[in-house]
């Protein structure tokens, strides 16, 4: 039986990792993910979890360390954020190319410069193309659930890919919430021991991470792309199973009061719960608004997106990151591209909000929704994207 | 999942491109990269074995007579042997 707990989300995240009976963790602590590493390290040093906790000298080594452990057959985990993810960058596409099912929790934080330790999605968006499965949690419960699901998804024989779980820095990592913590028996049934596809062992020689020239690199890239796209099937199955076991439903795009809505708001991560309040307030005033929340960023849920926006007149996409000099925020860019070939599609507006930890309130979403509605009436969005709330002289 | 050394199509690529055959790198003939080849002048050779040690392909072997030669299936023509040979017994010659 699950236990109702009240604790900081980072602590709960570490407890969830321990429930997964990891063999190895290699972490270099960095704000705002530090508490995950700290608590996990205590769990190991208190003897409550039989695992190696490697204190590495850098995030590059943290990622390399868990990749090596995974290649040797260990269930391995790390946590980081911002500069830490960027320092790992070189190893991230190698982990996915080698099909190593490691799991990483990211306490999402703005990247330097200027130096900033607060939340936005700039860090993960820079790692978008590294071939990882990427999940976004909107509250503490989803952090616990997604970390456990992540190991099951990653290690599934039809997937074999690394997974990152995105947890908004401070807004989620440092929030004290009421959550259900599954018990060990339940997780042992849900997550059987890791059976690797191949391991590094002298008795059964295997080469991993080999060289590939121009005669085969294209085929390897295609197979990696196909593996990621194909992973969605298994993710959906595992989420169904989770719902049956724990009663909590997971979908690539969760909708809130969106079925008949003319105007849709699309968010990622913890903004989802804030946005619900804006939707309720505007619905109370008779505005036909609804909310979509992106939970599965990679593989990109094309079918679910098309279905979710059907019938809507306006789609307002909220990004917490920016592609400098590009066509907007990463989510806005991809949603526009995904819907471009549809014969009928909503007018798309893209707002960038909450950079470097600036507060995002229900009122902000209400302002944005009203503004997109009035711009749509005039049949044009003034700019491709708007950096919301920026002070101008 | 096909376990073959040379996947033709993307569907045949092993997950993670793992290679289960030990020593299969020997099937890749780096000799095709070569534009120059090392030519030994054994009159200058003092049989020190430096070329054998430095060859990055490990393709130089000592013959029964104690002199050295390269396996041209693997010699990629890098010229390191010629550069390292201090009596200058090896010269790099353009492939014809
Ligand atoms: S390095 Fe030169 S001298 Fe020494 S063994 Fe090789 S060819 Fe002979
Ligand atoms: S040219 Fe390079 S590869 Fe060829 S034998 Fe000399 S050192 Fe070896």
- Structure tokens given for B54: 């430095």
List of residues 6+ apart from A328 with CB closer than 8 A: A319, A322, A336, A350, A352, A384, A385
The predicted pLDDT at position A381 comes to 66
Same domain, A35 and A92: yes
Q: Which residues of B touch A214 (CB under 8 A)?
A: none
In a domain, A393, yes or no: no
Containing A269, the helix (H) or strand (E) segment is none
Q: How far is Cα B93 from Cα A72, in angstroms, rounded to an integer?
A: 46
| More reliable by pLDDT, B25 or A242 | A242
Name the domain boundary from A246, A263, A280: A246
Domain extents for chain B? Answer: 33-94
Cβ burial, residue A50 (10 Å; 0-12/13-18/19+): exposed
The predicted pLDDT at position A112 comes to 97
* Contact state of A206 with B18 under an 8 Å Cβ cutoff: yes
Q: Is A229 touching B (CB cutoff 8 A)?
A: no
Q: How far is Cα A171 from Cα A156, in angstroms, rounded to an integer?
A: 31
In a domain, A210, yes or no: yes
Please tell me the total count of domains within chain A: 2
Q: Is B32 touching A (CB cutoff 8 A)?
A: no
Let me know the angle formed at the C-alpha of A301 by A166 and A268, rounded to the nearest 5 degrees: 35
Same domain, A168 and A92: yes
Cβ burial, residue A376 (10 Å; 0-12/13-18/19+): buried
- Structure tokens given for A330: 């990463």
Closest listed residue to residue B24, CA positions, set A95, A96, A205 = A205
The predicted pLDDT at position B2 comes to 42
In a domain, A87, yes or no: yes
Same domain, A96 and A58: yes
- State pTM to two decimals: 0.91
Name the domain boundary from A246, A269, A294: A246
Containing structural domain, residue A151: 3-246
Same domain, A155 and A55: yes
What fold is seen in the domain B33-94?
Answer: Alpha-Beta Plaits (3.30.70)
Which CATH number covers residue A300? 3.40.50.920
Banded model confidence at residue B21, pLDDT cuts 50, 70, 90: confident
Can you tell me the ipTM of this complex? 0.86
Closest listed residue to residue A131, CA positions, set B59, B16, B81, B91 = B16
Q: How far is Cα A315 from Cα A330, in angstroms, rounded to an integer?
A: 15
Same domain, A324 and A355: yes
With a 6 A CB cut-off, is B59 part of the ligand 2 pocket?
A: yes
* Contact state of A100 with B16 under an 8 Å Cβ cutoff: yes
Q: What is the DSSP letter of A129?
A: T
Q: Which residues of B touch A227 (CB under 8 A)?
A: 15
Q: What is the phi/psi pair of residue A307, to 5°?
A: -65, -40
Closest listed residue to residue A156, CA positions, set B15, B42, B8, B52 = B15
Dmax (CA) for chain B in angstroms is: 54
Same domain, A266 and A237: no
Same domain, A312 and A333: yes
3-state SS assignment for residue A25? strand
Taking only Cα atoms into account, the Rg of chain B, rounded to an integer number of angstroms, comes to 17
The closest ligand to the CA of B79 turns out to be 2
Q: Indicate which residue's Cα is closest to atom 4 of ligand 1.
A: B48
Same domain, A235 and A281: no
CA dihedral A145, A226, A99, A101 (to 10 degrees): 10
Tell whether the model's pLDDT for residue B50 goes beyond 50. yes
- Structure tokens given for A329: 């925020």
Same domain, A188 and A216: yes
Q: Which of B6, B17, B76 to mutate to probe the A interface, most A CBs <10 Å?
A: B17
Same domain, A224 and A312: no
In a domain, A392, yes or no: no
Q: Which residue of A has its CA nearest to B19?
A: A207
Same domain, A242 and A257: no
Same domain, A195 and A232: yes
Which CATH number covers residue A216? 3.40.50.970
Q: How far is Cα A276 from Cα A256, in angstroms, rounded to an integer?
A: 7
In a domain, A297, yes or no: yes
- Across the 393 residues of chain A, what is the mean pLDDT of every consecutive 10-residue run? 95 98 98 98 98 98 98 98 98 97 98 97 98 98 98 98 98 98 98 95 90 91 97 98 98 97 98 98 98 98 98 97 96 98 95 98 98 85 88 96
Q: How far is Cα B94 from Cα A353, in angstroms, rounded to an integer?
A: 62
With a 6 A CB cut-off, is B68 part of the ligand 1 pocket?
A: yes
The predicted pLDDT at position B5 comes to 56
Q: How far is Cα A255 from Cα B75, in angstroms, rounded to an integer?
A: 62
- Structure tokens given for A372: 């997109």
Tell whether the model's pLDDT for residue B4 goes beyond 60. no
Q: How far is Cα A135 from Cα A296, in angstroms, rounded to an integer?
A: 5
* Contact state of B7 with A206 under an 8 Å Cβ cutoff: no
Tell whether the model's pLDDT for residue B25 goes beyond 90. no
């Amino acid at each position: 039986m699950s236990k109702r707990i009240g604790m900081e989300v980072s602590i709960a995240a570490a407890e969830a990792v321990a429930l997964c009976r990891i063999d190895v963790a290699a972490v270099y602590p960095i704000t705002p993910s530090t508490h995950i590493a700290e608590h996990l390290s205590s769990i190991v040093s208190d003897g409550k979890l039989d695992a190696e906790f490697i204190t590495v000298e850098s995030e590059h080594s943290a990622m390399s360390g868990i990749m090596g452990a995974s290649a040797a057959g260990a269930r391995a985990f790390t946590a980081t954020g911002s500069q830490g993810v960027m320092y790992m960058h070189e190893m991230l596409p190698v982990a996915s190319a080698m099909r190593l099912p490691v799991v990483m929790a990211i306490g999402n934080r703005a990247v330097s410069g200027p130096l900033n330790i607060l939340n936005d999605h700039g860090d993960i968006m820079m790692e978008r193309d590294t071939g990882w499965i990427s999940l976004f949690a909107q509250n503490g419960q989803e952090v616990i659930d997604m970390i456990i699901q992540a190991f099951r998804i990653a290690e599934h024989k039809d997937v074999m890919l690394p997974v990152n779980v995105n947890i908004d820095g401070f807004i989620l990592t440092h929030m004290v919430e009421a959550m259900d913590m599954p018990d060990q028996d339940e997780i042992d049934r849900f997550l059987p021991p890791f059976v690797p596809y191949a391991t590094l062992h002298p008795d059964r020689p295997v080469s991993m991470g080999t060289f590939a020239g121009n005669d085969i690199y294209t085929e390897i890239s295609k197979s990696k792309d196909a593996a990621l796209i194909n992973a969605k099937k298994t993710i959906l199955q595992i989420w169904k199973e989770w719902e049956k076991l724990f009663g909590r439903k997971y979908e690539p795009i969760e909708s809130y009061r969106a079925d008949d809505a003319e105007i849709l708001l699309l968010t990622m991560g913890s903004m989802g719960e804030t946005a619900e309040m804006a939707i309720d307030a505007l619905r109370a005033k008779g505005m036909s608004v609804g909310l979509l929340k992106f939970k599965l960023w990679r593989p990109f849920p094309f079918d679910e997106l098309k279905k979710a926006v059907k019938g809507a007149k306006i789609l307002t996409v909220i990004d917490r990151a920016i592609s400098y000099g590009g066509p907007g925020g990463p989510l806005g860019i991809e949603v526009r591209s995904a819907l471009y070939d549809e014969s009928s599609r909503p007018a798309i507006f893209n707002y960038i909000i909450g950079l470097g930890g600036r507060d995002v309130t229900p009122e902000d979403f209400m302002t944005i929704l009203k503004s997109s509605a009035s711009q749509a009436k005039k049949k044009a969005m003034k700019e491709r994207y708007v950096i919301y709330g920026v002070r101008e002289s | 999942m096909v376990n073959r050394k040379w996947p033709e199509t993307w569907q045949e690529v092993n997950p993670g491109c793992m290679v289960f055959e030990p020593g299969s790198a020997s099937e890749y003939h780096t000799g095709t990269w070569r534009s120059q080849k090392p030519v030994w002048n054994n009159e200058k050779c003092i049989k020190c074995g430096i070329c054998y040690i430095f060859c990055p392909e490990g393709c130089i072997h000592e013959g029964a007579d104690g002199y050295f030669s390269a396996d041209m299936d693997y010699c990629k023509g890098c010229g390191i042997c010629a550069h390292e040979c201090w009596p200058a017994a090896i010269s790099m010659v353009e492939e014809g």
